[in-house]
Amino acid sequence: MRKYFAFAWAGTALSLIALFTGCESEGTGGAPLNLTLGGANYGQYVRLWWNEPVEGTPDSYIIYFRAIDTTDFVIGTTVSGDSLWATHNPWSMTGDYYVAARFGGTEYNSDTVTTIPVHTDILLLHELNAGGEPAYGWALTGDFSGSIYYLTNVANALLIDFYITNFTNDSAGGPWPFPWYIASPDTAANDPGGSAVPQGDWRRTWFSDPLLDPQAILPNFGPTAYFGCMSGIEDDTTYIGVYLDGEKHYGLVKFFGADTLEGTIQVESWFQTVPELRLLRH
């Protein structure tokens, strides 16, 4: 009888061991949720936030980065499983990110998010008195693409981020002499040429000096680096950094082909969708 019970107990123990070993070998884990990006270290680094996987706390999180114009993701940094954020130095590069939660020997990947700026191809703007659309704005509540607008409709006030002017009350028939400026919308109603611009809740925007390298990190926003208007945009080709004070977004605009007889200038833009991030590598 004693031998019988000993074998019975041993069999039960082996069954339990097999049961628990089987569950452990299957493993449980899941992906980080709601990966979000922001700027850090005065807009030079990328801050990543996420929520813990539904399945629980992993052993660690691994941040993967793929720089623009490259094909492979590389490990940017690794943090412990009880951390829900990380900071990455991309060395002035933009690119794609995802975060992997590591449970044992298995990684579970989040969705991929990007810091590559949104590009809007060439559009034609007019000087304020030249008759066509003089204003430009990015779709901040949409896809962040750029569009052109008239300043004569106050309903456009929340859509416009800058306009083109020579700060002169020119005749409708032109020419519209240089210098031309990129200017903040809140100055338009008081512009010498802005008699047709209604008073309204026009946005406040800031502009850098012309930039030597359009791929470099933009200047940090400050009173000696950004201004309410900037001249010289008629020079081929001119790049200007833009800062949206309310939303804390940076953008880059390229001007070329200014024509005083037609009153037109071509504009192309890149917009950084990650707030407070100054990286515009494209």
Predicted local confidence at residue 265, as pLDDT: 98
Tell me, yes or no, whether 253 and 142 share the same domain.
yes
pLDDT at site 173: 87
Question: What are the tokens at 231?
Answer: 């001249």
pTM for the full model? 0.89
**Amino acid 22: pLDDT:** 36
Distance CA 91, CA 251 (A): 18
Same domain, 206 and 256: yes
Identify whether residues 80 and 158 lie together within a single domain.
no
**CATH code of the domain containing 86:** 2.60.40.10
pLDDT score for 11: 44
What pLDDT is stored for residue 85 in this prediction? 98
Same domain, 138 and 227: yes
Any residues with CB less than 8 A from the CB of 270 and at least 6 apart, and which? 117, 118, 119, 120, 251, 252, 280, 282
CA 128 vs. chain centroid, Å, equals: 29
Give CA 101 to chain center in angstroms: 25
Query: Terminal CA-to-CA distance of the chain, rounded, Å?
Result: 81
Q: Flag whether 180 is in a domain.
A: yes
Kindly state whether residues 135 and 168 are assigned to the same domain: yes
**What pLDDT shows up at residue 114?**
98
CB 233 within 8 A of CB 255: yes
147 and 110 in a single domain? The answer is: no
pLDDT given at position 95: 98
Chosen domain end from 73, 93, 114: 114
Report pLDDT for 34.
98
Tell whether 146 and 264 lie within a shared domain: yes
Number of compact structural domains in the chain: 2
CA distances from 142 to 145, 148, 174, 216, 241 (A): 8, 15, 36, 26, 21
Q: Mark whether 151 and 95 lie in a shared domain.
A: no
Task: Give the residue from 114, 132, 159 where a domain finishes.
Answer: 114
In a domain, 131, yes or no: yes
Average pLDDT over residues 227-250: 96
pLDDT at 171: 80
Q: pLDDT band for 172, please (50, 70, 90 cuts).
A: confident
Q: What is the model's pLDDT at position 27? A: 56
Residues 137 and 249 in one domain: yes
In a domain, 15, yes or no: no
Position 137 in a domain: yes
221 and 158 co-located in one domain: yes
Q: Per-residue pLDDT for 7 more than 70?
A: no
20 sits in the region (left: phi over 0; alpha: psi -120 to 50; else beta) called: alpha
Reference 208, options 187, 190, 224; nearest CA is 224
Distance, CA of 213 to CA of 198 (rounded, Å): 37
Q: What is the mean pLDDT of residues 43-69?
A: 98
29 vs 27, residue with greater confidence:
29
Indicate the average pLDDT of the chain: 92
Same structural domain, 147 and 40: no
Look at residue 3 in the predicted model and tell me its pLDDT: 42
**Residue 78 is assigned to a structural domain of this protein:** yes
Q: Which of 251, 256, 255, 245 is nearest to 270 (CA)?
A: 251
Domain that holds residue 186: 118-271
Domain annotation covers residue 8:
no
Q: How confident is the model at residue 257 (pLDDT cuts 50, 70, 90)?
A: very high
